[in-house]
Amino acid sequence: MKTFDPASIATRRKKLRKTQQDLARETGLSSTAIYYIEKGRKVPRATTLVKSQMP
Protein backbone atom coordinates (compact mmCIF):
# COMPACT_ATOMS: atom_id res chain seq x y z
CA MET A 1 0.00 0.00 0.00
CA LYS A 2 1.33 3.40 -0.94
CA THR A 3 1.47 6.14 1.65
CA PHE A 4 0.25 9.65 1.00
CA ASP A 5 2.98 12.03 -0.15
CA PRO A 6 1.73 15.63 0.01
CA ALA A 7 4.64 16.96 -2.05
CA SER A 8 3.62 14.77 -4.97
CA ILE A 9 0.32 16.64 -5.29
CA ALA A 10 2.06 20.02 -5.48
CA THR A 11 4.73 18.70 -7.83
CA ARG A 12 2.17 17.22 -10.23
CA ARG A 13 -0.02 20.34 -10.08
CA LYS A 14 2.93 22.59 -10.90
CA LYS A 15 4.10 20.30 -13.70
CA LEU A 16 0.66 20.70 -15.30
CA ARG A 17 0.84 24.47 -14.76
CA LYS A 18 -2.27 24.57 -12.61
CA THR A 19 -2.86 26.80 -9.64
CA GLN A 20 -4.21 25.70 -6.29
CA GLN A 21 -7.42 27.46 -7.31
CA ASP A 22 -7.61 25.39 -10.51
CA LEU A 23 -7.24 22.18 -8.52
CA ALA A 24 -9.76 23.40 -5.97
CA ARG A 25 -12.35 24.00 -8.70
CA GLU A 26 -11.73 20.55 -10.18
CA THR A 27 -12.10 18.76 -6.84
CA GLY A 28 -14.79 20.89 -5.21
CA LEU A 29 -12.46 21.78 -2.34
CA SER A 30 -11.37 25.24 -1.25
CA SER A 31 -7.97 26.56 -2.24
CA THR A 32 -7.18 26.66 1.49
CA ALA A 33 -7.87 22.91 1.72
CA ILE A 34 -5.56 22.31 -1.26
CA TYR A 35 -2.85 24.35 0.49
CA TYR A 36 -3.23 22.30 3.69
CA ILE A 37 -3.13 19.03 1.73
CA GLU A 38 0.02 20.06 -0.13
CA LYS A 39 1.69 21.04 3.15
CA GLY A 40 0.72 17.75 4.79
CA ARG A 41 -1.51 19.41 7.36
CA LYS A 42 -4.56 17.52 6.04
CA VAL A 43 -4.87 14.12 4.42
CA PRO A 44 -7.47 13.96 1.65
CA ARG A 45 -10.03 11.20 1.38
CA ALA A 46 -9.43 8.61 -1.29
CA THR A 47 -12.45 9.90 -3.23
CA THR A 48 -10.89 13.36 -3.35
CA LEU A 49 -7.69 11.92 -4.73
CA VAL A 50 -9.67 10.14 -7.44
CA LYS A 51 -11.43 13.41 -8.34
CA SER A 52 -8.06 15.08 -8.63
CA GLN A 53 -6.63 12.49 -11.02
CA MET A 54 -4.81 14.68 -13.44
CA PRO A 55 -3.70 13.53 -16.88
User: Could you report the per-residue pLDDT of 14-29, keeping only the tens digit for each?
Assistant: 999 999 999 999 888 9
Could you tell me if residue 31 is inside a domain?
A: yes
Counting the structural domains of the chain, the total is 1
Query: What is the distance between the alpha carbons of residues 10 and 21, in angstroms, rounded to a whole number?
Result: 12
Residue-level pLDDT at 25: 92
The pTM (predicted TM-score) of the whole model is 0.75
Could you tell me if residue 36 is inside a domain?
A: yes
17-38: buried (b, 16+ CB within 10 Å) or exposed (e) per residue? eeebeebbeebebeeebbebbb
Domain range for residue 33?
6-45
Could you tell me if residue 13 is inside a domain?
A: yes
